[in-house]
Amino acid sequence: MTGTGTQDDVGEADVPSPMDLHPDRRVAAMRRLRGEGPVVPLPEAGPVVAAVRYEAVNAGLRRIDDFGGSVGQDDVADVDKHVAALREPAHSQVRRVINGVVAFHKSQQIEPYLQGLVDSTLDDFLAEAATAGDAGVDLVAHLASPLPPSAMARLMGFPEEDAARYYEWLRESGGRMQQAAQTGKSIAIADANPRLTAYVDEQIAARRALSQDEWPQDALTRFLRAEIDGEPLDDRSVRAQILFMIGAGTDTTKNLIGSLFDRLARAPEAYAALRADRSLVDAAVEEALRLDAPAQFMVRTCQHATELEGTPIERGQRVFMCIGSANHDDAVFDDADEFRLDREKADHLSFGSGSHICAGAALARLEVRTLLRSFLGRVVAFHLVDPDHFEPRPSPMSQGPIELRVVLDEVAP
């Protein structure tokens, strides 16, 4: 990113599409759209409208009976839909199951594991940084990437040695899901990557081959024992939710970690403040979430003719809930484009809003806080090898650096 903490250096004559891949340019484009209204056409993305101001995005995400579903999932049977694609009442029923799997107290049970994983990855990171010199070491590859899939494997009860394979599988499934969305077709999440689907099916089958008194207390067991209206979840539904959780709980958290450390590398005074006062860690994580929402927008379908912040919306209309734009709305956030540890209002929408807020928010925060606190204790100062270089994600829906090469200026004794 620019390193200035703002995007004002992108001139109006150079304002690109709001679907631009580079975060700074996308922020500038969204600023222009917010000036046009709370809900505006978005021809760059097809026949859709976009909620771009905070109040419109917040209201749209909360109005689950008016705006629901998920792009590319309309013609998929409910049993094969992931929770984000389900409409009421099925969504709330499955959501309660997932809440029980990743609720805060459940996430806390893996905190000792996370701390041990962070400590070992930091050991390797520091060792490589010590020999890399001015060439630096990639923080995304060495710190941001290993933690989320390993945490998800631990939560699910899957073999932890398989976690590194998740990203390869998810890249393939993400590409197929995006292609389906762009062509207006529907695709079940299980059809997006046969290899990942077969892997999850194998884990379910292996668990069912055991007697229930041998089942460990993990997420997979909770799914298999869950009931809705007295009936157990179909294994196809269990599979769909696990596939979704693996996707939602890996790339997004990795991107958040990358964005947070990118911000701190560009703001050494903020990093120094964190080292001096660890009570600011939560503020740093929330600012990274606000400024660099890992999921920049959510796509909803209007369920019946209605309006959103005064703009008429027809039944069947696709609506982009532009979280990244809402989080930069200067009508809500002072110095909206600035990374500030003293921000009093941090009601960002990065995890959604209302009753459908992300069930995995607590786990994601736990992972990032654990890493940041340990990093603060072992690294005194660090900087980017090339502050002018920022390679964005290949989709405007996601935000986070692909690579973050840093040099450690001083490590703690």
Q: What is the pLDDT of residues 373-396, one digit of tens each?
A: 999 999 999 999 999 999 898 889
pLDDT in tens, the chain (413 residues): 544 343 344 444 465 789 999 999 999 999 999 999 999 999 988 889 999 999 999 999 999 889 987 766 778 888 999 888 888 888 888 988 888 888 766 777 889 999 999 999 999 999 999 999 999 999 999 999 999 999 999 999 999 999 999 998 988 877 777 776 666 678 888 998 899 999 999 999 999 999 999 999 999 999 999 999 999 999 999 999 999 999 989 999 999 999 999 999 999 999 999 999 999 999 999 999 999 999 999 999 999 999 999 999 999 999 999 999 999 999 999 999 999 999 987 799 999 998 888 989 999 999 999 999 999 999 999 999 999 999 898 889 999 999 999 999 999 98
Sequence-distant contacts of 311-315: CB under 8 A, at least 24 apart: 311/37, 311/38, 311/39, 311/49, 313/39, 313/49
With beta carbons less than 8 A apart as the criterion, state whether 366 and 248 touch: no
At residue 49, the pLDDT reads 96
At residue 142, the pLDDT reads 97
At residue 12, the pLDDT reads 45
- Quote the distance between the C-alpha of residue 391 and its chain's center: 18
Q: What is the pLDDT of residues 161-205, one digit of tens each?
A: 999 999 989 888 777 777 766 666 788 889 988 999 999 999 999
Helices (H), 251-309: 251-266, 268-276, 281-291
From the number of C-beta atoms within 10 Å of its C-beta (0-12, 13-18, 19+), residue 310 rates as exposed
Question: How far, in Å, CA of 150 to CA of 181, rounded?
Answer: 29
pTM, whole model, 2 decimals? Answer: 0.93
The tokens of 371 are what? Answer: 């890493």
Q: What is the pLDDT of residues 31-82, one digit of tens each?
A: 999 999 999 999 988 889 999 999 999 999 999 889 987 766 778 888 999 8
With beta carbons less than 8 A apart as the criterion, state whether 371 and 345 touch: no
